[in-house]
Chain A
């Protein structure tokens, strides 16, 4: 029996080493079933195997030995590659490329610091590039509405001459307070006027049929009156005018048709009344005409006028998303990190240079299955990256059909794993000016630095985005 037990004990080790024949395996299994002692021996033999495995993992040769051996053998020294367990083997790049990419591709140890650093760098790159593009376009493109600017200059000139004339009449004013009642009456009359004509309101501001009312009856400054009239004309561009003066009406109508109602009304108003007690404060006219975004300008007036910077009209916010599944082509190997269901979320701030082109600052979080080779020679799987960058989008509005037009986009930036680029081409549906949605097939390429070398991977998928215009 002891001989048989000894024989079975031997079979245990043969079986664990993978050297047992089929006959020996069957004999061992049969013996194990009926012998608790043998089962204990089997368990302790497995413990010994595990101890050996643990010892093997700890016993690794120093990394410098490979270089030393290669040097002594007269081989060109390869990059130090510690024993790796994954299929990717990396090699060194030229020093210039490595150093350039090492400064461009931060390789932080923790996910949080890596993501923050990436967003910082990407945002900085995006901000600088966007500012550069804006400055360039502002310096090179023709100022919009130059014709309007010219007319504005003419209006200002007329205002100046009117001011001079009115100043000379100041000395004639004696009783400003008595005019307050007239002003109230004029205000009531103005509200009853259906038209937007500055001429009409100005006429009714005086109890006199003659629109050139005595100065001592008016206390409202010309500027305030002009501003008030401007506000009214903004609201009612197409209504009727007072026909006290056919010539004036014709002038106003012409201005309405030319789209310069507001501006020329100021000139007309300023030229009519001899009421300038105080120096008229002609409101500074800004943003004449419309921008390419179709934004209607408002004056940066003296009182109570809302003012929106022109650049804001070009801005929009983008939200992107890409649900799984996507086509994964990465690192060429079959071993890939599993892809969570939610694949991609991104956001951006876009500036429209003109109806065709736009630049944007973008960032996002994205699932990207990638194995990165660490300095300890082991691979760690990453499931997602954070990225930030700048993009350029070119639209084809002339190809619009049913409010849908195509556009293409290219992005360059940095991610927590390395430099990243994106290319997309899709269709944009813009039913109204302030809102649009798009569907774009998007290709993403990621360049990863692994232990001194660069490997690349890519991902292809479908992205949806929503855009809100300011």
Chain B
């Protein structure tokens, strides 16, 4: 219906609105699969720009959120996001066939994050968690502070699996493919991580409710 309407408007106005023409093209992009978008990016031409915009719209926030929660730095998360997409576009040029685009993007982001994170200490002993809480000035929101704090208390693998599941939006199977471990292992990691986080954050949320 939308496409019919836009096409009608386009011809009714004699094609004088280039925006309408682009809109019609965008309609096709919105409903395209990830594979089709990758094909468009690979082939080049005018549709490449639209295909990139659509892919960015679908997955950029996931990548940014993953990097942000793993590295706890805005600037580094932005760098990870940029590098992830640039690397992805480079890989597409090499005619790589990508079946699962979000998982592939997050794998790239994970690898880049690991490279950055290996330079820093990623875990903190539990007795120091109050200090970490005070040192998280970037989180203006109280909930975000609590979550960041509790994530930092998790073992590395559990934290990564949890962040991939919650912020990356991947299933257990996809997380297993990204991390290179069996799905059952991912399942255990995620469940353990969430249970631990639940126990850590429950007093804070109960305190909010009582107020």
Q: Which residue numbers of A lie inside 8 Å of B, CB to CB? A: 9-10, 13-14, 17, 19, 41, 44-45, 47-48, 51-52, 54-56, 58-62, 65-66, 68-70, 72-73, 75-78, 81, 83-84, 87-94, 97-98, 329-334, 453-458
Contact = CB atoms under 8 A, between A and B. Distances in A.
A332 B52 contact: no
Contacts of A94: 18-19
Given A59-B167, A70-B53, 15 more contacts: A13-B195, A54-B141, A56-B65, A61-B64, A65-B60, A69-B56, A69-B82, A73-B52, A76-B49, A87-B30, A91-B23, A97-B18, A329-B5, A334-B1, A453-B19
Interface of B: 1-6, 9, 17-20, 22-23, 26-27, 29-30, 48-50, 52-54, 56-57, 60-61, 64-65, 68-69, 77-78, 81-82, 85-86, 89, 141, 143-144, 146-147, 165-167, 171-172, 187, 190-191, 194-195, 197-198, 201-202, 205
Given A97-B18, A456-B6, A457-B5, A81 B53 contact: yes
Given A48-B201, A76-B49, A89 B86 contact: no
A45 B23 contact: no
A87 B57 CA distance: 11
B1 A332 contact: yes
Contacts of A69: 56, 81-82, 85-86
Given A55-B147, A93-B19, A44 B202 contact: yes
A51 B143 contact: yes
Contact of B195 (A10, A51, A92): A10
A453 B19 CA distance: 6
Contacts of A98: 19
Contacts of A55: 141, 143-144, 147
Nearest to A19: B172
A150 to B, nearest CB: 50
Given A14-B187, A72-B86, A458 B5 contact: yes
A364 B107 CA distance: 56
B17 A97 contact: yes
Given A332-B4, A453-B19, A456-B9, A91 B26 contact: yes
B86 A58 contact: no
A59 B17 contact: no
